Amino acid sequence: MLTDLPAWKGLQAHRAAWNNVHLRDLFKTDPKRFDRYSPRLDELLLDYSKNLISDETLALLRRLAVEANVPAWTEAMFKGEKINFTENRAVLHVALRSDSGKPVFVDGQNIIPAVADVLSQMRVFTDSVRNGSWRGHSGKVISDVVSIGIGGSDLGPAMACRALKSYGSKQLSMHFVSNVDPNHIGDTLDDLNAETTLFIISSKTFTTLETLANAKIARRWLVEKLGSEQAVAKHFVAVSTNEAAVRAFGIDPANMFIFWDWVGGRYSMWSAIGLPIAVYIGMDGFESMLAGARDMDEHFRSDPVGSMPATLALLSIWYQHFWDAHSHAVLPYDQHLGRFPAYLQQLCMESNGKRVTRQGEVVSHATGEIVWGEPGTNGQHAFYQLLHQGTRFIPADFLLAATTAHPYDGMQQMLAANCMAQSEALMLGKTEEEARSELKAEGLDDDKIRLLLPHKVFPGNRPSNTLLYRELNPRTLGRLVALYEHKTFVQSVLWNINAFDQWGVELGKKLAGTLIRELGEGTPITGHDASTNWLASYCQRLGRDKSG
Ligand code: F6P
């Protein structure tokens, strides 16, 4: 058990030494602090110097990772062992971006040639859409691409297409429909011309309720608008592991892009699930994104306990278990990363929201940090008050690009300055003395100062990491996403949980199935608890009243 490891005991003893330490003093007394805690991968810089750590803390955390067998688990993942044992699957998203030419075997089969084949198929298809040789049923060039999927079959492509807008085709508009809320598909279709719209239906299982419901509506809309079932062949493609279900839905398997059960949904944007990204930025851009992820894979594999992802994971363990942190804020100072926090929520929380160990015992400690965030500077005018002066201890990651595609009037510098000012403010805080002199300088009398002083103090000592990169290009994005993937993996090894299954989503799906049937039948709903019976019945009544 994690808490029985010698390094854990060492960390427990070590924590007491931090009770009266302030980060501002550490920076004052150690001019080399930044140099020691700011590794780079090419131009991607991770500054983790504003953390409540010393060399001793780091040594203990890294020893903990060794004692928890992080290096062995890392090798097991890269070599294709079936570490997702509850689903009897290998975990090989890393193989999707490997270009070493080295074989990787799953059930005795080298998977690398199949990966290359799908990439080639993606190139042919995306080139033809982008250069206008792929035409719709009536002969028109495609102008709009609608990706229909949910969870891992939506968030990665949606996040990446927004992130890489500067690299996207000017001829194509991308749309993402995920929710079973009919407004999502309805609002999207309302604005589209069927003759020039291409649908990409993405679902690993091709059984997911939301995706199939949305795809059915899209198919019906298209056939109605174009007046022919034959039109489907030119307007629908599918990405899935389930060929039979794709065929049953009425999509020609020739228009299908496959991937494999050893690619987890939330790790799948590197597979054909990334087709919307590839259509939008082109296959060269997509391969550059894969190369970025590969950079991070190689960096991580070469040092599974000292690399950037391992360091982020160990810091999160330090804060969650020894500083009572419950959540982690991700604050991109990069509008193009607007969906990055949502993407990370699935990656981190679906992976590590587990309550039993690999041996099936209930864990005796917390797992799975709660990830949330919003782009800066919007967040500053919303929830940063709580970060600075609230009672919660919330470590944060700041992400910042040094350059922008839109260099208007020094705005990028304003953005960058705000980003750095926030991590500085969180770290430094403002002492009572500093606050008092400021109030005095403003000419306030003693009574007013006494009233305001406690409200003007910032405790500071609040840790953060900053990831700084030149520009958010496909390669940088690949590096960033792989960084968080491996961070999540290292956390899971330390917690001794399986990061690659998601049984926790099943119960709600099953209960929804029953309620869908009951709401559809329109008969009295009595078979649940009183609350659910009432909600369902009242919802039926309100719906009837409106339609009546
Ligand atoms: O509901 C959770 C989940 O299974 C995710 O893990 C997955 O990414 C998503 O649903 C979508 O599944 P599919 O790709 O099979 O439609």
Higher pLDDT, 543 or 262: 262
Please answer whether residues 110 and 290 qualify as being in contact, where contact means their C-beta atoms are separated by less than 8 angstroms.
Answer: no
What's residue 99's pLDDT? Answer: 86
Query: Which is nearest to 485 in space by CA: 284, 312, 259?
Result: 312
520-533 burial: b if 16+ Cβ within 10 Å, else e: eeeeebeeeeeeee
Whether the CB of 316 sits within 6 Å of ligand 1: no
What's residue 326's pLDDT? Answer: 95
Whole-Å CA distances, 456 to 379, 391, 422, 424, 430: 20, 15, 16, 17, 8
Quick one: average pLDDT of 416-440?
Answer: 98
CA 47, 41, 157: angle at the middle one, nearest 5?
Answer: 95
Rounded-to-integer distance, Cα 499 and Cα 368, Å: 10
Rounded-to-integer distance, Cα 277 and Cα 279, Å: 5
- Say whether 258 sits in a helix, a strand or coil: strand
Beta strands 464-469 and 370-372: pairing type? Answer: unpaired
* Residues contacting 3, CB < 8 A, separation 6+: 364, 365
Distance 150 CA to ligand 1 centre (A): 6
Quick one: average pLDDT of 521-529?
Answer: 94
The enclosing H or E element of 328 equals strand 327-333
What's residue 287's pLDDT? Answer: 98
Confidence check: pLDDT of 38 > 60: yes
The answer to whether residue 87 is catalytic is no
Whether the CB of 265 sits within 6 Å of ligand 1: yes
Could you tell me the pLDDT band of residue 544, with boundaries at 50, 70 and 90?
A: confident
Rounded-to-integer distance, Cα 277 and Cα 269, Å: 9
Return the residue matching tokens 């290009």: 473
What's residue 492's pLDDT? Answer: 98
Q: Ligand 1 atom closest to Cα of 240?
A: 14
80-117 burial: b if 16+ Cβ within 10 Å, else e: beebbeebebbbbbbbbbbeeeeebebeeeebbeebee
Average pLDDT score over the chain: 97
What's residue 510's pLDDT? Answer: 93
Query: Which of 84, 205, 259 for mutating ligand 1's site (highest number of atoms within 8 Å of CB)?
Result: 205
Whole-prediction pTM:
0.97
The answer to whether residue 381 is catalytic is yes
pLDDT tens digits for 376-414? 999 999 999 999 999 999 999 999 999 999 999 999 999
Distance 188 CA to ligand 1 centre (A): 22
What's residue 547's pLDDT? Answer: 55
Quick one: average pLDDT of 113-123?
Answer: 97
Distance 309 CA to ligand 1 centre (A): 25
Confidence check: pLDDT of 415 > 70: yes
Q: Nearest residue CA, atom 10 of ligand 1?
A: 151
Quick one: average pLDDT of 268-290?
Answer: 98
pLDDT tens digits for 499-524? 999 999 999 999 999 999 999 998 99
As a whole-number percent, the residues of the chain with pLDDT over 70 amount to 99
Whether the CB of 266 sits within 6 Å of ligand 1: yes
Rounded-to-integer distance, Cα 395 and Cα 372, Å: 11
Please answer whether residues 192 and 225 qualify as being in contact, where contact means their C-beta atoms are separated by less than 8 angstroms.
Answer: no
Rounded-to-integer distance, Cα 392 and Cα 327, Å: 9
Tokens representing 296 are: 């991070």
End-to-end CA distance of the chain: 61
- Determine the number of helices (DSSP H) and then strands (DSSP E) in the chain: 23, 13
What's residue 100's pLDDT? Answer: 79
Whether the CB of 208 sits within 6 Å of ligand 1: yes
The answer to whether residue 350 is catalytic is yes
pLDDT tens digits for 437-494? 999 999 999 999 999 999 999 999 999 999 999 999 999 999 999 999 999 999 999 9
Confidence check: pLDDT of 365 > 90: yes
Query: Which of 86, 89, 204 for mutating ligand 1's site (highest number of atoms within 8 Å of CB)?
Result: 204
Could you tell me the pLDDT band of residue 545, with boundaries at 50, 70 and 90?
A: confident
Quick one: average pLDDT of 241-247?
Answer: 95
Higher pLDDT, 449 or 252: 449
467-501 burial: b if 16+ Cβ within 10 Å, else e: bbbeebbbbbbbbbbbbbbbbbbbbbbbbbbbbbb
Query: Which is nearest to 279 in space by CA: 413, 66, 122, 153?
Result: 122
- Helices 55-67, 6-15: axis angle to 10 degrees equals 160
Query: Which of 147, 153, 178 for mutating ligand 1's site (highest number of atoms within 8 Å of CB)?
Result: 153
pLDDT tens digits for 294-312? 999 999 999 999 999 999 9
Distance 388 CA to ligand 1 centre (A): 36
What's residue 521's pLDDT? Answer: 92
pLDDT tens digits for 149-181? 999 999 999 999 999 999 999 999 999 999 999
pLDDT tens digits for 44-81? 999 999 999 999 999 999 999 999 999 999 999 999 99
What's residue 420's pLDDT? Answer: 98
For residue 270, the cross-strand partners are: none
As a whole-number percent, the residues of the chain with pLDDT over 90 amount to 98
Tokens representing 443 are: 């000419």
